[in-house]
A and B are shown apart, each in its own frame.
Chain A
Amino acid sequence: MKDLTKTNNPYGDEKVFDACSIFGMMNLKGERFSAKDPIRAIANMHDRGNGLGGGFAAYGIYPDYKDDYAFQIMYLDREAKKKTDRLLSECFNILSEEEMPTQEANVRDPPIMWRYFLQPKKSKTKSQADDDYILEKVMRINTETGKAFVFSSGKNMGVFKGVGFPEDVAEYFYLEEYKGYMWTCHGRFPTNTPGWWGGAHPFNILDWTVVHNGEISSYGINKRYLEMFGYKCTMQTDTEVMAYAFDLLMRRQGLSIEIVSKILAPPLWTEIKAMKPENELALRALRQTYGSLLMNGPFTIVVAHEGEMIGLTDRIKLRPLTAAEKGDYLFLSSEESAIRLVSPMLDRVWSPRGGEPVIGRLESRRAVEVIA
């Protein structure tokens, strides 16, 4: 674990900052489309990044293996791969494995990357839920050798990221050949970790991915709170803490995204006071109980998991987010122009208020902006 943390944070900064560009595009009917448009959009926001990180999350890209866990792992050396392969055969039935197809592109020092389609070995899971089993094994791989990093581990989805501008990273992975119903993209402007591919966004845990723009000043306490629930913040990034917060609140505690937004970006006390008594009690209880997960500081995040894409900004909207709809498509972007490039005509364009999520769901036909 120490090794990975050092790799991600070679100067021992208390936290790794970055600032960036974000883009999300979803077909609400679940129809799959190629990466071409998302790539064009994120490339259009070139100046928000500095070429030291770019990445994509894609959902619905492995229809032939849709019930299997798609592990995408980067290896810093062959020893790490050997060890990890041993662990994988011990814990999983490996349905398929191959080195990820890549081509020459303007990216820096790519590590070895392999993709596996897996199922947990029933004999090993005992009473553990599959998701918890996967989580535990992923944390094990990430901490055991210090040279292997599972950067994607969900079903029928994948993260593709590295050190380079997002359009170059896309080229490296032959991304235009993949088709998914939901894409999130990120261009990074980090201030350290020049060589480490794992540091790029999106950050992934199970099928959750987070792309993030901004800096969380409450990170120190958000991290300590999550550590009480067993999460290990090895990457020392805001994005990691965001992803764990979503995993804790939505997957483990079963809270809805509307409520989770009110935890991460809660209304001010003065606004809570003006609500109906039942709502006031509930909102007050949320802040009292989950105050240590309040994300202070500027942020825009786009969080995705199977069937849902969520955009959220901090409660005083210090970072930009524009949402748009056209037909069956929902767009989220740091800049409107990126959306226009891909779809010059739009049915609706709006900027959500600080702390109010924009949610795209597969079942519903319309994107929803929730107002308390």
Chain B
Amino acid sequence: MKSYVTPEYIVERDQDRCIRCKVCVNQCSYDTHYYDEEDDILHSRNENCVNCQRCATFCPTQAITIRENPNHYRSNANWTQEAITSIKKQAETGGVVLTGMGCDKPNLTYWDRLLLNASQVTNPSIDPLREAMELRTYIGSKPDKLELEMEEGNGVVLKTKLAPQLQLETPIMFSAMSYGSISLNVHKSLARAASEAGTFYNTGEGGLEKSLYKYGDHVIVQVASGRFGVHPDYLDAGAAIEIKIGQGAKPGIGGHLPGEKVSEEISRTRMIPLGTDALSPAPQHDIYSIEDLRQLIYALKEATDYTKPVFVKIAAVHNSAAIASGIVRAGADAVVLDGVRGGTGAAPRIIRDNVGIPIEMALAAVDQRLRDEGIRNQASVIAAGGIKSSADVLKAIALGADAVYIATAALVSLGCTVCQKCYTGKCPWGIATTDLWLTKRINPDIGAKRLAGLLRGWSLEIMEMMGGMGINAIESVRGNRLLLRGVGLTDKELEILGVRMVGE
């Protein structure tokens, strides 16, 4: 059957600049470029190009330009380029159109319609470069009150025993990305950067590779529906355990790591046979109702002797507030909410773009609901799903999050250009692949530095914004909706966010 789908991108090469070094040929993993020896000229197969920008970045003379194919179908607000192309692909394959990363459709981001405050006259701003600005955050269950005693000669002494807490030096953690969806070198980079920055990285559902156990104090191990690599040592290795019920990119469905991507290392770490598909079922088959969740949470706590906080991660959906309340009452130490913009290594595009709700709304609703029920202290709330800047982080905290998870942003700092082709396993940046030739392209030394740099840059920006508001401790931002104002939002949106209109 001849395909009626035309190339998405056109590669333009400035032949005057091109020095025939063939870096583009070497770097492209999609086999787009090729060298014609006879004519001593580089050519490109446009139909293979995915606009990952690897060749353009590495071309020493900036000779390459990737352009969106100007051959567009007639402009149509309903029958968009994407809609038409998807239909043709489905007709030709009878399959589900896959994609990677997070929902790219417009009008689903509220961060950009929320604005922060600054202090003037009635309250001095604080300069974080010179005065203390505290970002330290503790994730875990907190009591409503403490029993304390003043002891002769000893001062204040604590009588209450607190539930286990994670100590974060900055309220940003690396979100779950499984080993298998991304490479080991990226995991190494994440683990090292998290350790250096005093925060945490999440293993995702692919287990924890042996060489990373030494970073255990900065690792959150995930227990997902496939239970890959989950054994007692694994549970003991990390500082916290996260039960994955769902993720923002594909709420309600399972996952699939194709057999081709299950290399020897993956097989070992996930504890499944080489070359078999790694299937994550849609539900966790031992959680069909809220009491089952409670059972699993306590099973994990027992397995680790109550020394580690247990998180539960859900995708942000319509009844997130009620579910979150259930999760807290089931004994979780933290609720993780992953919004519609959350990323993935592979998901059906139709689900990624149409299922789930924006994190901002879910977060606001969950935080308020937990407060209304008087149980907000019992669990921390962590927000995730397309957080792209330090302002998003601070706004998330002001809406009520204790901390945020970032994943796409972390990968972008390592080189990712969000081309959305992760599911092919051919990531030329060496990130979303297990191909050993490609994974070499991430050097963990440099990767760790880049990730640490991202955390540092964002943390400094957060401190500046806080100082501008006359606040020197993150606890005073957390849940403080008065620091936000909405612009271009309806009354109802403002009501759910619990935020006033600009000008009010």
Contact = CB atoms under 8 A, between A and B. Distances in A.
A and B touch in the complex (CB under 8 A): yes
Contacts of A221: 475-480
A283 B157 CA distance: 8
A227 B471 CA distance: 22
A292 B475 contact: yes
Interface in A76-110: none
A297 B471 contact: yes
B interface secondary structure, majority: loop
Contacts of B476: 217-218, 221, 294, 296-297
Given A15-B482, A285-B160, A294 B150 contact: no
Nearest to B133: A268
Interface string A190-229: 0100000000000000000000001101111100110111
B198 to A, nearest CB: 11
Given A259-B148, A262-B156, A289 B143 contact: yes
A316 B467 CA distance: 13
B470 A217 contact: yes
A262 B132 CA distance: 17
30 contacts: A14-B482, A14-B500, A15-B482, A19-B122, A215-B123, A220-B479, A220-B480, A220-B481, A220-B482, A221-B477, A221-B479, A221-B480, A228-B371, A228-B374, A259-B148, A276-B155, A278-B154, A278-B155, A279-B155, A282-B155, A283-B156, A288-B138, A288-B142, A289-B144, A290-B146, A296-B471, A297-B470, A298-B470, A316-B131, A316-B132
Contacts of B162: 285, 288-289
A146 interface: no
Contacts, number: 132
Nearest to A290: B146
A279 B155 CA distance: 7
Given A255-B148, A282-B157, A288-B165, A217 B123 contact: yes
A17 interface: yes
Given A217-B469, A269-B136, A318-B124, A279 B145 contact: no
Interface residues of A, number: 49
A292 B398 CA distance: 12
A171 B472 CA distance: 42
Contacts of A298: 123-124, 470
B450 interface: no
Given A227-B371, A269-B134, A282-B148, A217 B158 contact: no
Interface in B110-148: 119, 122-124, 126, 131-132, 134, 136, 138, 140, 142-146, 148
Contact of A294 (B371, B473, B481, B482): B473
Interface residues of B, number: 47
A230 to B, nearest CB: 9
Contacts of A218: 471, 475-477, 480
A221 B401 CA distance: 12
Interface in B156-176: 156-158, 160, 162, 165
Given A14-B500, A258-B150, A268-B134, A292 B122 contact: no
B470 A279 contact: no
A218 B126 CA distance: 14
B240 interface: no
Interface in A221-265: 221, 224-225, 227-229, 253, 255-256, 258-259, 262
Contacts of A17: 122
Interface of A: 12, 14-15, 17, 19, 191, 214-215, 217-221, 224-225, 227-229, 253, 255-256, 258-259, 262, 268-270, 275-276, 278-279, 281-283, 285-292, 294, 296-298, 316, 318, 372
Interface of B: 119, 122-124, 126, 131-132, 134, 136, 138, 140, 142-146, 148, 150-151, 154-158, 160, 162, 165, 371, 374, 376-377, 469-473, 475-483, 500, 504
A289 B145 contact: yes
Given A217-B469, A217-B470, A372-B155, A224 B148 contact: no
A217 B140 CA distance: 25
Contacts of A297: 119, 123, 470-471, 476
B470 A296 contact: yes
Contacts of A286: 146, 148
A224 B470 contact: no
A217 B471 contact: yes
Nearest to A293: B475
Contacts of B472: 296, 316
Contacts of A294: 473, 475-476
Nearest to A191: B122
Contacts of A288: 138, 140, 142, 162, 165
A224 B134 contact: no
